[in-house]
């Protein structure tokens, strides 16, 4: 039995995904829950599992194609499930009618048996893109009925023409209407290629045109004069223009104008010297990051408090504990120390561990401490979240942070693992930065950027005497939402972090 599988909802609020890679090919045997494809959404890269045990019969999406959730992407043949009554018919328009017909395949008509047995209707493979299938479902059109009399790739024009046909009219009348629609498309295509928009308008100039109110409304929105739209149809003896004809004409005008603009641009570019450059689509995760940063920057009034802290004792502590961590197969960096220090400082300054609920006009103080770690990846900055940092030991925090940041770089982090943060840390020092003005990861109210640890001369007091010594110094840049926090709140919070980083032994009490 044939089973068609639609792209599932792979994340909250996700409406479509880019099919990055197929992990199977037609003819491959698969088991239930076996990954068959990798799909990138605007949040993460996820594996799409097979819903059945069976054999891959057909792949209906190409690698690199953006597919809406709910569209069929793969067809399986499930062994041991026979077709009912020897008939293979689609379950509904939304699934079974979404196949593609190759150029050498014609729709199969009912076959008459020479033994006078009942005819068997074979499945019709219909060539139509997902957008056309959705339109057919919205208009209540059986797309296979169009394929019966319109061989070739089904277009939106075919669907709309079929939907506007009187269901009680003869088959010949339906065929005539589709033929007229096809002829109009041919005329529009020819017009677009050979004449300008002004010339195209003159080809159908007339004094009277009949059209329904909606068609007239759309024509006004598109800036189209109904008397200039070509048509072969008549109503009550007058030229009749359909809504689809208006849209086709407007599209033809736009295409012609676009070609004119491109020609002008090409002539202008011909006078410019060629310069080497490359272009990358601005989409997926990169686009989502940009939208989030723009919203944060233009919603929350950002203020950045900057300071530095002597972390000589921290450097010594990490050096001492590093070997012990390696014995547990854990790589110990400075980040877990900072995460624990921030969790302790958030407990002492709960107003920083807050978010603004604009809808209810409330400031929400969180009583849990989930720390996000900004991680640079090939796709952009991702923020895996380590939950309940306050309740975990240093090595446990280090292990979980290492594991999640690595999976973020590999693009295998799930969307759920990037939600629920209450505070974020960004380590700009890893690439040599010192100070920065990080953008808040909303709905959080603050974000901390860590600068590079450098040796600097500092005045050190010991036994009543002051000396200048080389010390390890880290810079801190705390950006905060001034709607929720004041400068004094930011300064007190930063002082709390400094306290724990200057003396990391205090973290043992947390």
Task: Give catalytic residue positions.
Answer: 482
Question: To which H or E segment does residue 498 belong?
Answer: helix 487-502
Q: Are strands 302-310 and 354-357 parallel, antiparallel or unpaired?
A: unpaired
DSSP 265-282: HHHHHHTSPP--------
What is the rounded distance in angstroms from the CA atom of residue 480 to the CA atom of residue 477?
10
Q: Are 446 and 357 within 8 A, CB to CB?
A: no
What is the rounded distance in angstroms from the CA atom of residue 475 to the CA atom of residue 493?
15
Find tokens 């819903």 and name the residue: 51
- Outline where 143-205 has alpha helix (H): 143-149, 156-163, 171-194, 197-202
Tokens of 246: 């208006």
Q: What does the angle CA 429 – CA 387 – CA 492 come to, to the nearest 5 degrees?
A: 55
Would you tell me how many other CB atoms lie within 10 Å of the CB of residue 97? 26
Edge to edge, what strands does the sheet with 45-49 contain?
45-49, 35-40, 16-22, 66-68
Give yes or no for a cis peptide into 443 (omega within 30° of 0).
Answer: yes
- Burial level of 134, CB count in 10 A (0-12/13-18/19+)? middle
Q: How many CA atoms lie within 13 A of 415 on its CB side?
A: 17
- Outline where 195-283 has alpha helix (H): 197-202, 213-222, 243-270
Strand partners, 459: 468
Q: How many CA atoms lie within 13 A of 302 on its CB side?
A: 21
Torsion of CA 195, 197, 202, 203, to 10 degrees: 50
């Amino acid at each position: 039995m044939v089973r068609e599988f639609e792209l599932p909802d792979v994340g909250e609020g996700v409406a479509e995904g880019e099919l990055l890679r197929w992990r199977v090919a037609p003819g491959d045997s698969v088991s239930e829950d076996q990954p068959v494809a990798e799909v990138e959404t605007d949040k993460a890269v996820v594996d799409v599992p097979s819903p059945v045990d069976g054999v891959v019969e057909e792949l209906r999406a190409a690698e690199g194609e953006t597919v809406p959730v709910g569209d069929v992407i793969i067809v399986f043949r499930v062994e041991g499930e026979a077709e009912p009554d020897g008939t293979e018919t689609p379950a509904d328009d939304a699934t079974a009618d979404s196949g593609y017909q190759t150029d050498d395949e014609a729709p199969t008509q009912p076959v008459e048996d020479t033994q006078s047995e009942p005819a068997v209707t074979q499945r019709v493979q219909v060539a139509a893109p997902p957008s056309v299938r959705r339109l057919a479902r919205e208009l209540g059109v059986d797309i296979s009925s169009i394929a019966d009399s319109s061989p070739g790739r089904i277009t939106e024009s075919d669907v709309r023409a079929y939907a506007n046909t009187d269901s009680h009219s003869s088959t010949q009348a339906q065929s005539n209407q589709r033929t007229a629609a096809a002829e109009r498309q041919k005329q529009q295509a020819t017009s677009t290629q050979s004449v300008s928009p002004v010339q195209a308008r003159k080809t159908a100039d007339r004094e009277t045109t009949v059209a329904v109110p909606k068609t007239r409304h759309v024509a006004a929105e598109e800036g189209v004069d109904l008397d200039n739209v070509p048509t072969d149809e008549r109503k009550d003896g007058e030229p009749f223009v359909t809504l689809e004809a208006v849209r086709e004409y407007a599209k033809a005008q736009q295409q012609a104008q676009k070609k004119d603009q491109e020609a002008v641009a090409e002539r202008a570019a011909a006078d410019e010297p060629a310069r080497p450059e490359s272009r990358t689509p601005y989409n997926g995760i990169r686009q989502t990051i940009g939208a989030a940063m723009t919203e944060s920057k233009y919603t929350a009034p950002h203020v950045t408090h900057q300071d530095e802290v002597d972390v000589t004792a921290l450097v010594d502590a990490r050096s001492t504990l590093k070997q012990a961590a390696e014995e547990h197969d854990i790589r110990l960096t400075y980040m877990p120390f900072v995460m624990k220090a921030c969790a302790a400082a958030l407990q002492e300054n709960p107003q920083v561990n807050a978010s603004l609920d604009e809808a209810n006009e409330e400031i929400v103080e969180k009583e849990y401490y989930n720390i996000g770690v900004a991680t640079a990846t090939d796709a952009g900055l991702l923020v895996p979240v380590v939950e309940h940092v306050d309740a975990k030991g240093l090595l446990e925090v280090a292990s979980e942070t290492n594991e999640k940041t690595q999976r973020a770089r590999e693009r295998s982090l799930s969307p759920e693992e990037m939600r629920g943060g209450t505070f974020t840390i960004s380590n700009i020092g890893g690439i040599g930065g010192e100070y920065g003005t990080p953008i808040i990861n909303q709905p959080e109210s603050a974000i901390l950027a860590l600068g590079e640890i450098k040796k600097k001369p500092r005045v050190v007091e010991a036994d009543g005497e002051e000396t200048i010594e080389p010390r390890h110094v880290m810079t801190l840049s705390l950006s905060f939402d001034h709607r929720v926090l004041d400068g004094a709140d930011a300064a007190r919070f930063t002082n709390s972090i400094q306290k724990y980083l200057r003396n990391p032994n205090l973290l043992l009490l947390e």
